[in-house]
Structure 1
Amino acid sequence: MGLAHQIQEKYHTLTKSEKRIADYLLAIKGQAVYRTMKDITEEVKVGDATLIRFCQKLGYSGFSDLKIAIAKKEFTSQYDEDIDYKYYDRILENQVKVLESTRKLLDSVTLLKAVEAISKANYIYIIGVGSSGLAAAALEQMLLRVGVHANQTSDPHFQAQALSLLGPKDLVICFSLSGRTKDIHDSLLIAKENQTPIIAITNFKSSPIAELGDIVLQTANEEFFDGGALAGKISQMYISETLVRGYEIKNQIKTVELREKVLRSIIDKILD
């Protein structure tokens, strides 16, 4: 049973304030999974207790339980379709769609500011946790190939220690699809205290992590139930590639010569 059907069944039992919540959720549909309690209570102008009572009337323990149910329903519907469909085509279509959506969100002025920040920074730290930690590690390697020395870590304790030593002439680049990863947010607060510039790479410009960023580059993939899926990584890698290529162009890096040098350093490690 979907959320719309559950709301329709219970609508006559809802108070006036609860009906406003119901109408709002019906309007935004699946996007509800990317909202917080604060988002909804401020938008609908109700208290937390009203939202919780609304969720309980629908049979859920609270708002988080409701969001999981919505995400589970959408995820199940998508995978049920794969039975009668070439699932590998759907996966490819999704990746292409995410790349196209990320490109539409990419602003050339903001990108240039990010490239300039990388160019000016004395020291660069790249942070992320979970699958976003993999994106941070990949960007570190990509930057190294164009002569930029940066360090990354997905360990929250080490992030805190490292960022506490940075200053205004350094740079932090962070990855968080949701923009609400607590460990990343906590680390960025330390960087903010030290007036260290922050490039935030995230889905949502209104998220807590984006609000801490001096420069925000948006990814386009939305993962709630299927965290760590390929689409999110591809979106992050696309942003990373544009940053690295932008740096090469701005700084007139001799790309071929530099990449040849890097290749020669590792070619002996390749088996014949």
Structure 2
Amino acid sequence: MSFYDKLEQNRKFLNENEEEILSYLLDHGENLLDTTIREVAGHFYTSPNTIIRLTQKLDFSGFQQFKEDFVAALKIQKSLGELYSLDDMIIKTKQLINEETITNMTRAIHEADNILFFAVGLSRFPAEEFSERLKIVGKQSQTFIDPHIMKHNAQIMSEKDLAIAISISGRHQSNVYAATSRSKIAGAKTLSITGFSSNALANLTDLQLYGFSSPLKINGLDATDRFSIHYLTNYLFDKYIEQYHHLDTSTT
């Protein structure tokens, strides 16, 4: 299992303090090899055992293995050549993809009578593209502009329906989380595509995909790119076509 596979599967087990420490470790990159466990513990005014427990929750034997595997993963990326930030995002996002999860998601899409997308702001654009592409292959799919209508439709879903929630933050206090929660209570299958973090939306849904992004706010407004989200929705659609439809690559 790769370094990023372990993070993707186990990061949800971390508490808020451990998440903060993990973010600090990930920010240090290759310099982490020269960092001691006591230095990290001292930075957060905690004990070395806290750091060890954190890495073990992520399925590493301890801090040393975490460091070595992380640095090895970074070197693999660098071996692919000089990377731009967008290239880096895609490589990291691709490493997070679990093919078993993809298979379960394509099956859920195939079996769903209706597919509702929950997304607001900039996340609505990959949702709308995905929805329109699903319509081309005969799926009943819908996106929403008004969050009130989105939440209303969520609560009248059935166990034969699928909710796909897309959010970079995946935060609890959001219209997307509220709609997803209502759809889950109604009995629908739920799927989320979020930024790479231990977030409330991912913890709520039945199936999850994670993408790397670079958070950006301008004048207090969210301007974070959805490049990795577009990548994941395209990847998921391609796998769905490959599994359940004859692939016609001709264009008009």
TM-score, with structure 2 as normaliser: 0.63
Q: What per-residue deviation string (whole Å, max 9, x for no partner) do you get for residues 161-182 of structure 1?
A: 1111111110000100111161
Cα distance, 1:206 vs. partner? 2.4
Summarize the Cα distance change of 1:104–1:161 in structure 2 as closer, same or farther, 3 Å threshold.
Answer: same
Aligned pairs, number:
182
8 Å CA contact 1:203–1:222 kept in 2: the answer is: no
Q: Which residues of 2 match residues 12-161 of structure 1 at below 5 A?
A: 28-29=23-24, 93-161=84-152
Structure 2, gaps ≥5 residues long: 1-16, 28-43, 47-81
Summarize the Cα distance change of 1:134–1:30 in structure 2 as closer, same or farther, 3 Å threshold.
Answer: farther
Cα distance, 1:156 vs. partner? 1.1
Summarize the Cα distance change of 1:207–1:169 in structure 2 as closer, same or farther, 3 Å threshold.
Answer: same
8 Å CA contact 1:146–1:255 kept in 2: the answer is: no
Aligned residue number for residue 235 of structure 1? 228
Of the three residues 184, 188, 209, the one matched with 1:217 is: 209
8 Å CA contact 1:198–1:214 kept in 2: the answer is: yes
SS at match of 1:255: coil
Aligned residue number for residue 198 of structure 2? 206
8 Å CA contact 1:125–1:150 kept in 2: the answer is: yes
Q: 1:44 and 1:154 mapped to 2: Cα distance? A: 46
Q: 2:21 and 2:142 mapped to 1: Cα distance? A: 45
Q: 1:173 and 1:221 mapped to 2: Cα distance? A: 19
Aligned residue number for residue 159 of structure 2? 168
Q: 2:129 and 2:25 mapped to 1: Cα distance? A: 31
Cα distance, 1:238 vs. partner? 0.8
Q: What per-residue deviation string (whole Å, max 9, x for no partner) do you get for residues 216-238 of structure 1?
A: 011111415363333xx210111
Cα distance, 1:148 vs. partner? 2.5
Q: 2:123 and 2:208 mapped to 1: Cα distance? A: 16
TM-score, with structure 1 as normaliser: 0.59
SS at match of 1:175: strand
Q: 1:223 and 1:144 mapped to 2: Cα distance? A: 31
Instruction: Tell whether 2:188 aligns with 1:193.
Output: no
SS at match of 1:98: helix
Q: 2:243 and 2:199 mapped to 1: Cα distance? A: 30
What is the percent sequence identity of the aligned residues? 22
Summarize the Cα distance change of 1:25–1:201 in structure 2 as closer, same or farther, 3 Å threshold.
Answer: closer
Structure 1, gaps ≥5 residues long: 1-21, 33-42, 46-89, 264-272
Cα distance, 1:127 vs. partner? 1.3
Summarize the Cα distance change of 1:236–1:146 in structure 2 as closer, same or farther, 3 Å threshold.
Answer: same
Q: 1:26 and 1:165 mapped to 2: Cα distance? A: 41
Residue type of the partner of 2:181?
L
Q: 2:180 and 2:45 mapped to 1: Cα distance? A: 30
Cα distance, 1:102 vs. partner? 0.7
8 Å CA contact 2:157–2:186 kept in 1: the answer is: yes
Summarize the Cα distance change of 1:182–1:30 in structure 2 as closer, same or farther, 3 Å threshold.
Answer: farther
Summarize the Cα distance change of 1:225–1:254 in structure 2 as closer, same or farther, 3 Å threshold.
Answer: closer
Q: What per-residue deviation string (whole Å, max 9, x for no partner) do you get for residues 114-139 of structure 1?
A: 00000000000011011111221111
8 Å CA contact 2:126–2:229 kept in 1: the answer is: yes
8 Å CA contact 1:130–1:154 kept in 2: the answer is: no
Q: Which has the higher helix share?
A: 1
8 Å CA contact 1:185–1:209 kept in 2: the answer is: yes
